[in-house]
Amino acid sequence: MEGTKTNKIRYLSIGLFVIVIAIMPLVARSRYYVTIGNFIGIYGIVAMGLALLIGYAGQVSMAQAAFYGIGAYTSAILTTQVGLNPWLTMVAGAILSAGVAGIIGVPLLKLEGHVLAVATLALSIVVSTFFVELRPLTGGYDGIGGIPRLSVGGFMLKADFHYYYLIWAFLFFLFILSHNIVHSRVGRALRSIHRFSGGSEMGAESLGISPTKYKVQIFMLSAAYASIAGSLYAHWVTFINPDPFGIFISILMLIMVTIGGMGSLWGAIIGSCLVFLSGELFREMVPRLIPGASGEMEMIAYGLILILILLFMPRGLVSAPALFKSWAAKATRKASG
């Protein structure tokens, strides 16, 4: 009964994970861990969107930073300058991001993969330039401060660990949503398109499935995810400036998804954890080993990891158990002659 056993293991591990996440702030020794947890959660949401896009639409997008920023800035501007309810601004940001993604996506997603990557990179740069240049709206380099907090019911969320639970609640909700999408008709259609999951675009088209339409839908969805994450970020830290919304975030997202595993939602979360934690570790350790050097070593390490993973484990860490199994099987076959 292989099926039920793996299912049981899966539910157990999910349950375990939920418990670990839930009790972490209560047992953590300092607020620092909660802050890290918040970042992992926020990036995890963006990464999940990207994982869906790459894994199921086969499109490498560097535009996550753009939508993350649009979400954050929409929330910031609409709450501070127009006085809207923060939840409404989150929805507005998501709609705006999805809208931009939809408009840009229709022509761009018809492009060949490499060209699309450059186009999305260009988009990220253009958007972050606007964040800096549209000073009356965005405050330029000074950014926007005094962003109001989110409240649930009458309760205003102020502490870091409030946002911790909020962010991770969002993450789980979006995780389940993504999971349902993947296993729905839309997901099956997507998998029929993408070569990576065994499909072919021409084959799909002959069945009446329009690859571009589904790709655009996923692109819009991933944009919405990134935007929501951005809004959460804005209301948590209450102050934003263009810094965190540059291409660096896009790079980070790609690394997270690659390390974790392309089409895998779990991979996105694991990738987010690993990348963020190792980033922090790096920032702690490297200045002690090599005085003066920090940012550069981080860059080099990220790039090398990216390359190595793509060379040796292109399906990411989530494929490690499967890889291990096949390696072990090969080894035992050789041993038994």
Q: Is 287 in the site for another protein (CB under 8 A)?
A: no
DSSP 39-65: HHHHHHHHHHHHHHHHHHH------HH
Q: Is 303 in the site for another protein (CB under 8 A)?
A: yes
Q: What b-and-e string marks burial along 51-79, b requiring 16 or more CB atoms within 10 Å of the CB? A: bbbbbbbbbbbbbbbbbbbbbbbbbbbbb
Q: Is 108 in the site for another protein (CB under 8 A)?
A: yes
How many CB atoms sit inside 10 A of residue 152's CB? 10
Distances from the Cα of 152 to the Cαs of 24, 47, 142, 165, 167, in angstroms? Answer: 22, 26, 30, 12, 13
Q: Is 314 in the site for another protein (CB under 8 A)?
A: yes
Give me 170's structure tokens: 């969002």
Q: Is 2 in the site for another protein (CB under 8 A)?
A: no
Contacts for 326 with CB less than 8 Å, ≥ 6 apart: none
Number of residues in contact with another protein under rule CB under 8 A: 52
In the complex, minimum distance from the CB of residue 183 to another protein, in angstroms, rounded to a whole number? 23
Binding residues among 118-157 for another protein as defined by CB under 8 A: 118-119, 121-123, 125-126, 129-130, 132-133
Among 8, 10, 31, 110, binds another protein (CB under 8 A): 110
Q: Is 283 in the site for another protein (CB under 8 A)?
A: no
Q: How many residues appear in the chain?
A: 337
Q: Is 28 in the site for another protein (CB under 8 A)?
A: no
In the complex, minimum distance from the CB of residue 222 to another protein, in angstroms, rounded to a whole number? 14
CA 28 to chain centre: 25
CB 50 within 8 A of CB 268: yes
Q: Is 196 in the site for another protein (CB under 8 A)?
A: yes
In the complex, minimum distance from the CB of residue 210 to another protein, in angstroms, rounded to a whole number? 12
Give me 139's structure tokens: 């405050």
Q: Is 107 in the site for another protein (CB under 8 A)?
A: yes
Q: Is 112 in the site for another protein (CB under 8 A)?
A: yes
Q: Is 209 in the site for another protein (CB under 8 A)?
A: no
Among 16, 176, 307, 329, binds another protein (CB under 8 A): 307
CB 257 within 8 A of CB 267: yes
Q: Is 104 in the site for another protein (CB under 8 A)?
A: yes
Residues that bind another protein (CB under 8 A): 54, 58-60, 104, 107-108, 110-115, 117-119, 121-123, 125-126, 129-130, 132-133, 195-196, 200-202, 247, 251, 254, 258, 262, 293, 295-307, 310-311, 314
